[in-house]
Amino acid sequence: MLNTNQLLLFLDVVQQGSFTKAATLHDMDNSSLSKQIKRLEAYLGVQLLNRSTRSFSLTSAGEEILAQARVLQDTLNQIQGIADSYQSEPKGVLRITSPIYFGQQYLQPIVTQFMRRYPDVQIVLSLDDKIANIIAGKIDIAFRFSKLVESNLIAKKIADSHFMLVASHDFIAEHGEPQTPQDLLSLPAIIYTNGDMTLDQLRISEQPNGNTYQVLSLQGNYKVSDVRTIVSGVSDGLGYGLLDQSNLHAPMKDLGLVQLLPEYRISTEETAIYAVYPHRKQTKLVKEFISCVQDYIGSPTIWERMQSDK
């Protein structure tokens, strides 16, 4: 009988792009993994991979069998999801990835509550501002500030969140408060960058509360890959910042910050937080954690409530 575990190992080798990464994923050594793939090829009677010293490529048979292995993986996940739905409590391993700040500020308190409520659950939380490969990383939930996802992924909106321009009182005292978007061009900004993305383009309405937009290039000598550091730098008066509402860990007045050009609209593609997952049929564990995140963030959101508190 065909060994489905070997078939799924073959799938992981291809998705990870190397035997080493796939072996690490399964806590195996390379030689053991290679033997499993060779046994699969021997059973099927066809070669699946063309191997060289440092790489491999799929044979024609390998490409066709890979497609069916993906179908098998989806089917097995759906079966597991059905079984999970009949369990009284969530259990198992939950792998989550999130932008660093969102994970530190919002997910960590949720994880604490969740693990106390469900002690049989294991959580692996990976914090990285770079977008992870959900399939290759075997991630159950990825929290993202963008709906743009691969066609085989599902995105569930968690909450709205919008960008705004902020500066410190000291910065305004030194440079003056901008009255129009064009005034920003002569002011230093602290710019977010993480290698894959740099937020140095501002799409802002031409008129207060207007519906037509202009694109301005932010000017500044300080670029930072960490949101907390940007907030700190803005508070210190090094520049103004383009920040998401959820990036502020305290009321603006407590941080010594004010919103710039509040009557102008800022438009970006990233205006909401999404939970992204690989299967339309959620496991009970995934469904319950997403529900806890929604409850914690709430509506109005926790960051909106924070700024409105007197």
DSSP for 134-165 reads TTTTT-SEEEES-----TT-EEEEEEE--EEE
CATH of the domain at 105: 3.40.190.10
> How many residues are there in the chain?
310
What's phi and psi for 270, nearest 5 deg?
-95, 80
Same domain, 182 and 46: no
| pLDDT over threshold 80, residue 85 | no
Q: What end-to-end distance do the CA atoms of the chain give, in Å?
A: 68
Q: What is the mean pLDDT of residues 245-264?
A: 92
Torsion angles phi and psi, residue 214, rounded to 5: -125, 155
Rg (CA), the chain: 24
Whether 290 maps to a domain, the answer reads yes
13-16 contacts, C-beta under 8 A, 24 or more apart: 13/37, 13/49, 13/56, 14/58, 14/62, 14/66, 15/135, 15/136, 16/136
Q: How confident is the model at residue 148 (pLDDT cuts 50, 70, 90)?
A: low
What is the chain's mean pLDDT, rounded?
Answer: 89
Q: Return the ∠ at Cα 146 (arms to 144 and 148), rounded to 5°.
A: 115
Rounded mean pLDDT, 120-143: 91
Cα→Cα distances 105→24, 81, 237, Å: 30, 30, 23
Q: How much is the pTM?
A: 0.73
Total domains in the fold of the chain: 3
With respect to residue 304, please indicate whether it lies within any of the assigned structural domains. yes
What percent of the chain is predicted at pLDDT more than 90? 62
Domain boundary among 34, 58, 85: 85
pLDDT tens sequence across 268-293:
655 789 999 987 667 889 999 999 99
pLDDT more than 70, % of the chain: 95
Mean pLDDT across 198-219: 88
Residue 171 lies in a domain: yes
Residues 121 and 247 in one domain: no
- Report if residue 131 sits inside a domain: yes
Q: Which of 56, 85, 114 is the last residue of a domain?
A: 85
Under 8 Å between Cβ of 54 and 39: no
Is residue 127 packed enough to be buried (19+ CB in 10 Å), middle (13-18) or exposed (0-12)?
middle
Please give the residue range of the domain that contains residue 111: 92-159+271-308
Residue 265 lies in a domain: no
Pick the last residue of a domain from 25, 55, 85.
85
87 pLDDT above the threshold of 70: no
Instruction: Spell out the alpha helix ranges (H) of 45-197.
Output: 60-85, 100-102, 108-117, 169-175
Average pLDDT over residues 214-237: 94
Q: What is the CATH number of the domain that holds 52?
A: 1.10.10.10
